[in-house]
Structures are given as structure tokens and as C-alpha cells.
Amino acid sequence: MGRGRTHEAARLRVSHVVDSYRRYPGETVTLYTRVEVGRELSRFRLRVTVPPGLVAGDCQAIDQPGVTVPITTRNDGANHVIWDVEREPGAPTSYEYCVEARVAPTREDCSLESLAVVTSQVDGVEQNRDEETATVTVLAQGRYLDHLPAIYREDELMGRFLMLFESFWAPIEQQIDHLALYLDSRLTPAEFLPWLASWIDLVLDEAWPEHRRRQLLGAATDLYRKRGTCQGLREYLEIYTGGKATIVEHRAHNLRLGPDARLGSGVALGTRNMPHTFSVSLRLPPIASDGEGEEGDRKEAARQRKILAIIEAEKPAHTAYDLRLEIEPELG
């Protein structure tokens, strides 16, 4: 237990990625680095290596104004961007950095590796170290040359000229290649959800959390099949509220028909019969903790109005219902 806490307090971890893993000469890449620091560390050094084949440009310590960035060059031609950071020990936190670079001209395809190393020292002795590598594949010629006679490969200008069109059309090709993902409610961008919902005449409430809108859209076709049924209403309410719904349909309990039965205008069919009615019991999670006082009451009233609207829209038109809500207590 004690050793685990000590390790967590002194944690030093680096994550290093690049915004695109395939580039052509002349294009730019951005190297992103995140450093996670334990609560006891007061100083660390981050070194990001920009390999030969990439020309280092702007460097930035994100959300750390005033931080200077020295750039040194070794004999191997690689640039090293170094941040020395001092901080007050306290809560664990993370720092983010980015380095922009331009791909240098090349006649052959190659892979360029950028290394991020983070270290901390105490009295000149290295105590912690972590590193990660990000790789960029550089293509010397555009793919569109594959569709032309081989003689055009001998013309460097033609290869560079076709790269322009490829850079323009590549995003469109990528969208077409991944069109199926845009039609999947689990994966499509959030701004596409209303468009998908319009295909099945479903209006999504923008006040809903995104994950519930995705869940409702994915279940919409099945809910349409069950519309007007107890199961369909229960599933719809549970998707919206995130709580547990119980629905009881009321049927005849003591209706008896036989030789002694006498029916007439003043006779009720049983003393406990409530035909065409049902009861809904909902156990709801509490409103988010940031909604307190009048704001919390307003959100709760809006939630209850939406529940009533769902029931009215999904129940058979000739039925009536009772609704009972129970709010779960907040933890702590």
C-alpha cells in the first residue's frame, strides 16, 4: 500500500503522437506531447526530437504562457526541443506541448521517428524516466501516379503537381470510404444525429445527453415495432431517464359470468376493475449536482414534463394511466 502511494506520487509519464501518420514532402505535421506528473514532483525535463527529414517550426507549451523553448541541433541533424519545467508540488496534473514541422524534400519513401523523453532528477541523479516514439511515413510521390503510364514517374514536377489534387480530394475520398460509419448511430459525428433521426421521422431532444440520443436513435426502429405495447413504453422511458421503469396493466380481478350474473345499466363489472388503465413507476437518478435550488427544481420539472410527453405519445389512445416517480438519494 505504502509503496503504491509513493509510486503514484512520483509518477512521470509521457504520451507522444502525431496529427497524421502519412505525409508528402512540403506538408506539415504537428507533434503532440502530454506529460503526466505525480503530486510530489517539482521539476522535470521534456525533450522532443525532431528527426532529420522534418524541419522544426513553431513550438508551444499549451496553457503555459511565458515558457521559453530552447532549440538545439546535434551533429546528426536532428533538432531537439527542450522544456525545463518547475512546479509547486501538489495535486497530480498534466502538461501539453506541440511542435510543428515541415516535411523536407525526398526522392524515396521513408519513415521518420520522433522521440519524446521525460526525466526528473534529484541532486543530479535521474530518478524517473519515460519515453514514447511517434512515426511519420513520408511518400516521395503521390498515389495518383499509379494510374498513369510509367513514363510520368520520371517527371518530378508531375508527381508534385498530382500531390496537390490528392491533398484536395483525400478528405472527400476518406469520407466516401467510411460512409457506413456516418450511418451508424454509435459512431457518426454528433452533428449528424438529427440528420439520421429525420430518416425515421424521429425528433431528438437536444437537451438530452449525447449518449442517450445515440441510444434512442439506435433503438428507434425496434421501438417503432413495439409502439403501443408495455415493453416498448418501458424501454423508451428507461432510455430517456436512465432509471428503472415498472409498468402494471390493470385487468379484471373479480368479474364472474354465469347463470346468476345479471347485467344492466347500473351494474359495474366487478368492484376492483379498472379497464384500459395501467400504472407506471419510475425510479429516477437525481438531477446533476450543479442543479440546486430553483435551477434544480426547473430541471426536475422539465424532466417530468418530458416523461409525461413520452407516455402520452407511446400509449394506446384509449387508455389512461397513473404515474409514480421516485428519486434516488444522492450519494454522500
* Residue 205 included in any domain: yes
Query: Are 120 and 223 part of one and the same domain?
Result: no
* Residue 32 included in any domain: yes
Query: Are 104 and 45 part of one and the same domain?
Result: yes
User: What three-state secondary structure class fits 301?
Assistant: helix
216, 204 Cβ separation under 8 angstroms: yes
Q: What is the DSSP string of 127-160?
A: EEEEEEEEEEEE-SS-GGGGGS-GGGGG-HHHHH
* Residue 304 included in any domain: yes
> 120 or 153: which carries more pLDDT confidence?
120
* Residue 257 included in any domain: no
pLDDT-based confidence at residue 291 (cuts at 50, 70, 90):
very low
* Residue 15 included in any domain: yes
pLDDT-based confidence at residue 212 (cuts at 50, 70, 90):
confident
Query: What is the rounded distance in angstroms from the CA atom of residue 24 to the CA atom of residue 56?
Result: 16
User: What three-state secondary structure class fits 125?
Assistant: strand
Query: Are 214 and 287 part of one and the same domain?
Result: yes
pLDDT digits (tens, 9 = 90+) for 3-17: 344 455 568 999 999
What is the distance of C-alpha 40 from the center of its chain?
A: 31
Query: Are 218 and 114 part of one and the same domain?
Result: no
> 27 or 97: which carries more pLDDT confidence?
97
> 91 or 191: which carries more pLDDT confidence?
191
Query: What is the rounded distance in angstroms from the CA atom of residue 98 to the CA atom of residue 135?
Result: 15
Query: Are 228 and 102 part of one and the same domain?
Result: no
* Residue 185 included in any domain: no
Single residue among 119, 140, 161 that ends a domain in this structure: 140
Burial of 95 per CB tally in 10 Å (0-12, 13-18, 19+): buried
Identity of residue 173? E
- Whether the per-residue pLDDT at 48 is higher than 70: the answer is yes
Burial letters 120-132, b for 16+ CB under 10 A, else e: beeeeeeebebeb
Query: Are 323 and 200 part of one and the same domain?
Result: yes
Tell me what pLDDT residue 4 has. Answer: 40
Query: Are 135 and 202 part of one and the same domain?
Result: no
- Mean pLDDT lowest for which of 34-38, 76-80, 232-236, 263-267? 263-267
pLDDT digits (tens, 9 = 90+) for 146-175: 777 877 777 767 776 777 777 777 777 777
What H or E segment, with its residue span, contains residue 119?
strand 110-122
* Residue 71 included in any domain: yes
Single residue among 70, 105, 140 that ends a domain in this structure: 140
- Whether the per-residue pLDDT at 199 is higher than 70: the answer is yes
Query: What is the rounded distance in angstroms from the CA atom of residue 326 to the CA atom of residue 47?
Result: 56
Neighbour tally for 203: CB within 10 Å: 8
* Residue 332 included in any domain: no
- Whether the per-residue pLDDT at 269 is higher than 70: the answer is no
Query: Are 136 and 7 part of one and the same domain?
Result: yes
Nearest 10 degrees: Cα torsion 64, 104, 18, 61: 0
Single residue among 104, 123, 140 that ends a domain in this structure: 140
Query: Are 100 and 222 part of one and the same domain?
Result: no
CATH number at residue 42: 2.60.40.1530
Query: Count of domains in the chain?
Result: 2
Domain enclosing residue 31, as ranges: 2-140
